[in-house]
Structure 1
């Protein structure tokens, strides 16, 4: 049975702005926010939880016997890369960048024209940046120097399309195996991925994912989908649940 573990990134500086109730979020937000100190601690704790010794005792719906990940992916957004690297360091797994795992909307800046916000897509860092700053990260061979995103803000109608493409790739590369795959990604696109698995309309649902929470989806060899749990925050004390 294929086990998929969707892991949200640690708290970012943008997350902190929204939690503080700032009414100036759009003017203060970062295009590609970093982790906060709390986010770094969350990443450390979830990495330790995922890396604890794994004992294969058969069916284990709550991972009481550990996780035993075999593969690890992350988006190319800084908060996901840093969270993924914390997990990679503890587990010894290679961390493979998957650009399409980015958050809904992609990389964009906000400019105010006649006091109205206009969202403008940004290129993001390119190949040399990742090679210099995150040499442990395995980046795609075709990642350009001009930026990994480098397009307009992603339109809302494309969210479910991209989510379906992510699901299709996961099933193509890992379906019919006993792989246990960690996917470090984002709360918004996670909801669309989950609704793609269950073939429901994402705009009618929101699936909460706290920072560094884990959600698990199992796929049987016959293609049956089982949601084992969502938004698992067991590794964290109360003050680190954000």
Structure 2
């Protein structure tokens, strides 16, 4: 099974931090910045080329390898995944557990409290991102609607996601794409590599960067991580 992990395009929160060095005026569920929107066609074209290579048998014929595209329900991820879905003509499945660490929240900068927020509603996401298939296990009035996700919950969620991935997609000729987030990527890759949760390492993933994992029968091959060479220099953001 080939597993592509894609980080979302630049959000307005990413741009805010790059400009100010602070998240003080962050949006709880940030949409894409103008730069992020400009990154999308380059990412979509790269993913289309990757999938075309997968579907070629090397002898001029075409294989019929199933491809499944999932995304976090945070708006920046849905927008990014929608560009891939449109370019590659793929169904887009919303996946609640692919959200960024913490969930949807705001910070009270006086008390330091992290306050859970509802998240975007089914109606909002279906109106603005019609390719998205909203998951049945998500509340329609806001898919999050929970307290802030604790640090202890994050690696447990990564474990659930990996177990589900390997259980639901266990065929050798199969492709799965996640469009998700940078910090959650670090929790997930630690699970893939059987690393301790507290191991002091950070795997960098720039905006729209792609990582590829090839799950063989008895080992995992990692052809690349943090690949963003397809972007023009002036559109590279972290």
TM-score, length-scaled by structure 1? 0.88
How many residue pairs align between the two structures?
A: 227
**Following the alignment from structure 2 to structure 1, what is the Cα–Cα distance between the partners of residues 120 and 32?**
17
Indicate the residue corresponding to 1:63 in structure 2.
none
The answer on 1:135 being equivalent to 2:117 is no
Where in structure 2 are the equivalents of 1:10-29 lying within 5 Å?
A: 10-20=9-19, 22-23=20-21, 25-29=22-26
Where does structure 2 lack aligned partners over 5 or more consecutive residues? Answer: 59-64
Q: Secondary structure at the match of 1:27?
A: coil
On the 8 A contact 2:28/2:105 being kept in 1, the answer is yes
After TM superposition, give the deviation of residue 10 of structure 1 in Å.
0.2
Q: Which digits, 9 at most, give the CA deviation of each residue in 1:11-51, with x for residues without a partner?
A: 0111112212x25x332110000111111111211101111
> Aligned-pair distance for 1:239?
1.3
Within-5 A mapping of 1:26-37: 26-37=23-34
Q: Matches of residues 46-125 of structure 1 in structure 2 within 5 Å?
A: 46-52=43-49, 53-54=52-53, 56=56, 70-112=67-109, 115-125=110-120
The C-alpha deviation readout for 1:196-226, integer Å capped at 9, x for no partner, is 0111123321100000000011101x24112
Is residue 2:169 matched to residue 1:170?
no
The DSSP-based 3-state class of the residue aligned with 2:152 is helix
The answer to whether the aligner puts 1:3 opposite 2:19 as a matched pair is no
Gaps of 5+ in 1: 59-67
Q: TM-score, with normalisation over the residues of structure 2?
A: 0.90
- Contact kept, 8 Å, 2:75 with 2:120, in 1: the verdict is no
Structure 2 residue aligned with 1:208, among 204, 208, 221?
204
- CA RMSD across the alignment: 1.6
